[in-house]
Amino acid sequence: MLPTQMDRLSAVSFLLLSAVLLSSCQKGGGISPQGKNNVNPSPISKSVGPFQPQCLEDTQHISTSPGIIGGELLKNESQLAQVVGLLLIKWSFVENGKPQQEFSRCTASRLDQNVVITAAHCVSPWRTAFNLDAKGVPKEPIRMTAYFISGAQPFCNLQSEVDFEEALRQMKAQRALEVRVHESFIDYKNRIINSQFDLALLRLEEQFESPKNFETIKLVTSQNLASSDQIFIAGYGLSGVNREAETLQPALRFARTHLATASTLKDMGFDPSRSRSSETDQTISELSLPPEDRSSILLANLAEGRNACSGDSGGPAVVAQGRALLQFGLAVKVENFGVNIDPCLGATHYLNLGKLQPWITLNFDRIKGKSTKQGRDLFVESN
């Protein structure tokens, strides 16, 4: 899901922010209009368990079940399920003098066995950046611990009802040891977040047991995208728009979608005369540009009612090239352009990874800590 405006730190608000920010869970002061429509992380729970084994069937599709809106369940052996994983985030903070813990979820893609890419708002306590004391120190510091979990239905593999720590062990979760957030994501001077830089890389514990014929996801620029192309999106967010539903059994779903156009927005009933944020203005103006020149790629499938929602933040937008899946976008926020519909039934902004290729390449090399330049091999040429 993408983020929406939040008044307090909560897994629910953070995850729902991801649906307007697709994934985010932060505590602190207010947020400017530019940040209102970010995709938020989906809520998991305010407690640490117990977590119960539960497996969804393909026929189960209700408003409280997890996954892309209108999406289909993936199987563990599918290509997407091997490279896309659940990002489970634990937030520790003190509220009214008492230690608190809350949980949220996002989606991430594996660039190699111990580096994943996701949305910055999933793992950055950006709300605290706007709630500082006179010395510029956050008044309410938050500790974030993130875990990457492989598997289309990770909770399906639990052996019994267990607590949080045991659930992590049984699901073979990889803890994030290092987080790199794009330096321009938070604009401290203007107290806003910049969704065009909503990007983060995480270095994980090296304990991944790769399946047979495992291949990491490849990144690609959006240079050759066309409105007729079949695009796939995937994530662990809500598969319905019931924001009150909190599920403990995230499942990976996927859906086909398309490039949004001016005609798409017209079909939504978008009225250009309505007031909107400067980011929305930019989105509208960029629709006339080739996809590779846009800061974000707007995707929508209104005809079939398929879109990203809370918990899908950081999830990929991919195209198929032969047997390979090439990721060109990363989910950051949903948009309804002022139309009186739920944002999750509108369109989704996917960060244009090609525009951020230099940052991704440089920081991948830094996070690996090796002299060899591996980051340049993350991007491949599309046909």
Q: What is the pLDDT of residue 232?
A: 93
Question: In percent, how much of the chain has pLDDT > 90?
Answer: 24
Q: What is the pLDDT of residue 190?
A: 78
**Would 25 be classed as within a structural domain?**
yes
Averaged confidence pLDDT in the chain: 76
Is the pLDDT score of 60 beyond 50? no
Span of 29-43, 105-119, 333-347 with lowest mean pLDDT: 29-43
The CATH number that applies at residue 327 is 2.40.10.10
**How many domains does the chain contain in total?**
1
Higher-pLDDT residue of 42, 315:
315
**Would 269 be classed as within a structural domain?**
yes
**Would 21 be classed as within a structural domain?**
yes
Q: pLDDT grade, residue 31 (50/70/90)? A: very low
Instruction: Tell me the Cα Rg of the chain.
Output: 19
Between CA 186 and CA 194 the distance in angstroms is: 6
> What domain range is 84 assigned to?
1-372
Beta strand pairing status for 218-219 and 324-335?
Answer: parallel
**Would 378 be classed as within a structural domain?**
no
pLDDT tens profile 242-286: 555 545 567 899 999 988 888 888 887 777 666 566 777 788 888
Q: What is the pLDDT of residue 274?
A: 66
**Would 90 be classed as within a structural domain?**
yes
Between CA 51 and CA 162 the distance in angstroms is: 5
**Two structure tokens written together for 221:** 């620029």
Between CA 332 and CA 38 the distance in angstroms is: 6
**Would 377 be classed as within a structural domain?**
no
Is the pLDDT score of 159 beyond 70? yes
Q: What is the pLDDT of residue 148?
A: 96
pTM of the entire structure? 0.83
Between CA 321 and CA 325 the distance in angstroms is: 6
Span of 21-35, 113-127, 226-240 with lowest mean pLDDT: 21-35
Residue 235 C-alpha from the chain's centroid: 8
Q: What is the pLDDT of residue 275?
A: 55
Q: What is the pLDDT of residue 375?
A: 79
**Two structure tokens written together for 278:** 């400067």
Q: pLDDT grade, residue 48 (50/70/90)? A: very low
Span of 60-69, 131-140, 305-314 with lowest mean pLDDT: 60-69
**Would 315 be classed as within a structural domain?**
yes
**Would 380 be classed as within a structural domain?**
no
Q: What is the pLDDT of residue 187?
A: 82
